[in-house]
Structure 1
């Protein structure tokens, strides 16, 4: 009767191995399902972000086009007069400040020369 006992023992070992394999398989399946759900959520978030970015970029392009049109219209109208006035005012200020600036440069130049 020894062969029957060894066969029973071997069958018990195989049944235990089979149960272990099934347990590990279930754990792997649960993990795969969890990862699949996480990937689906991630892909959904990416699609939503992409759509939002696309809409935002479209709005920005529209605003940019409007700004360019306003600038084009502005250069045709009064803005060139305003720009000319600003430029004249700037050069008057420079001419007024130039003698003082030259004096400051001369003073600083003398103080930095070695003796």
Structure 2
């Protein structure tokens, strides 16, 4: 049989010691890893329950806030309706009458020019309505 030399036995012994050492370390790390994962899952569960409770409380508060906001909006709408109704019944001011007359005059003067430009545009070959 093949007998190993003492130096080879010493090398094999060192190898087995190192292998055993690192195997032990790896097993310890695996145990620590499992502990960390379990703690993480517990923290996540706690966080989820806290967030769920907060969300429920906030939704109750937000429902109350929404109801108050809606009431305020309804009051504002009623106020504006009343205000506009009152303003509509006021006589037209001289300034508004002038603006109205000037606008009407401008439209009456510009309409024939616009109409002519539209006719010219339509008479161009290859141009259809809506093209630019």
Fold match by TM threshold 0.5: yes
Gapped regions of structure 1 (runs ≥ 5): 1-26
In structure 2, the residue corresponding to 1:112 is in which secondary structure?
coil
RMSD: 3.3
Aligned twin of 2:82? 69
Q: Alignment length, in residue pairs?
A: 87
Is 2:102 the counterpart of 1:102?
A: no
Give 1:87 deviation, angstroms.
4.8
Gapped regions of structure 2 (runs ≥ 5): 1-40, 128-132
Q: Provide the C-alpha distance between the structure 1 equivalents of 2:121 and 2:75, rounded to a whole number of angstroms.
A: 53
Q: Provide the C-alpha distance between the structure 1 equivalents of 2:101 and 2:66, rounded to a whole number of angstroms.
A: 45
| Cα pair distance change 1:46/1:74, threshold 3 Å | same
In structure 2, the residue corresponding to 1:54 is in which secondary structure?
helix
Which of the two has greater helix per residue?
Answer: 1
Task: Give the structure-2-normalised TM-score.
Answer: 0.50
Larger radius of gyration: 2
Is 2:55 the counterpart of 1:55?
A: no
Aligned twin of 2:104? 91
| Cα pair distance change 1:36/1:104, threshold 3 Å | same
Aligned twin of 1:45? 58
Moved more, 84-93 or 42-51: 84-93
In structure 2, the residue corresponding to 1:50 is in which secondary structure?
helix
Task: Give the structure-1-normalised TM-score.
Answer: 0.56
